[in-house]
Structure 1
Amino acid sequence: MKTLEQYFSEQPLLPDDQVAPFEKSELSEAEQAFLTKYLGVTDTDKKSVARHINAPDPVQVMAGPAELPEVSPEPPVKHAPEHKTPGHVGPQLPGPAHAQKTLRDQEELQLIGFRLAEQEYALPIDVIQEVIRAVAATRLPSTPAFLAGVVNLRGKVTPLVSLRVLLGIPAGEDKFVVVCRHAGLQLGLQIQAVSTMHRVAQNRIDWGIESLLGVQNDFITGLIRSENHRLIGILSLDHIVHTLLKT
């Protein structure tokens, strides 16, 4: 069986000739909100902005979810299922929360795990477009510390988010970027390394644990209890995007 790293290295790059240049593409509402907030530009300013944003040649190490191999599910926890009232979906998340609510309705989740320092985190595979090697970003003035910069990635304005700053993790070398698209915005999350894939039953996940983890972990929407008794934090992409765009 191939290792995850071997699989990633064999994935083909996305066809660049099928991607519209940033200055010619249509902006989503979220993309326009990002450009307006951090650069003070409008849709008509795209061409001049594109000249100043680094457009790297990304090295893809993992394709999107349609290309991911099947992985065996982790066995469910052997205890009585939690009793929930009809329609219960957990606490209301800030920002557009539809995707997070949907996670709670699935019997089983497939996620990609990645490491930051000694801790593992995860994201559902359906929000991940690809994983690329770290790229140089264009730094923006007067921005929050968690915003590492912005790149023109495959024709899309793409903010790069430092999860270390966002989660209060000590500085370190982040060699990869998880590229996600959510709520109309493409963004990259800087990570240390990809670890593994998970298929997890709902009764192995504790939702709505933000208040237990503290204010710096508002961006964790759930905890996976793995077979080796380690806790894996599921990131809230809803909350990350909302924090990035809020006024």
Structure 2
Amino acid sequence: MATTENKLHAESRTEFGKGAARRIRRAHKIPAVLYGHGSDPVHMTLPGHETMLLLKNANAILTIDLEGTEHLALAKDVQRDAIKPVIEHIDLVIVRRGEKVVVDVPVHIEGEAGIETVVTVENSTLSVLADAFKIPESVTVSVEGLEAGSQILAKDVTLPAGAELEADEELLIVNIVQQQSVEELESELAEAEAEAGIEREESDEDEAAEAEAAEGESDDAEKGDDSE
């Protein structure tokens, strides 16, 4: 729940465009926009370090103090740099106490599946409807003892009290498949390379094996000559 501990002091933003955004980030601030409940979008900047600390958890509710006026807002869309630990832009949605919002909640996998299986997480988040101030930090999915061929769909996930499934019930969350042998993996790789027209370079081990085989054939030929 939003408190004074997750309050951010924002500043109105009047400059726009890529150049302005770069200048804002160089000043260790983050460009953001606040909207919702029929109000006009408000463009602002947020303090970089403090904001990043508060957004470590998904779906954070923040108290935005914009020039003396406070707004409760959900960090709906956080755009992060693909390489650097930098937030490039934030979309903030105004929320009211008691209202429900649709959010994507992280999926947490626990347990160990059956022997010689591979657990594939097909969707790492699950869309749910929840009270804006009671958004679950994650949903837990157990794969304990599941055999190859098992699947966990969205409708199979147990949600925390008060949360409702918003995603398609048939959405595949986790897929359990049989672990492939080294030979099968190499065969699939060779087929893929052949289809792509890629010629695999021989490894030192392959070259050594071919040289040994050739040497063996040469020895056999010499023995044949000696016997004549």
Q: TM-score normalized by structure 2?
A: 0.25
- Higher relative strand content: 2
Choose 1 or 2 for highest CA Rg.
2
**Bigger relative CO (Cα 8 Å, ≥ 6 apart):** 1
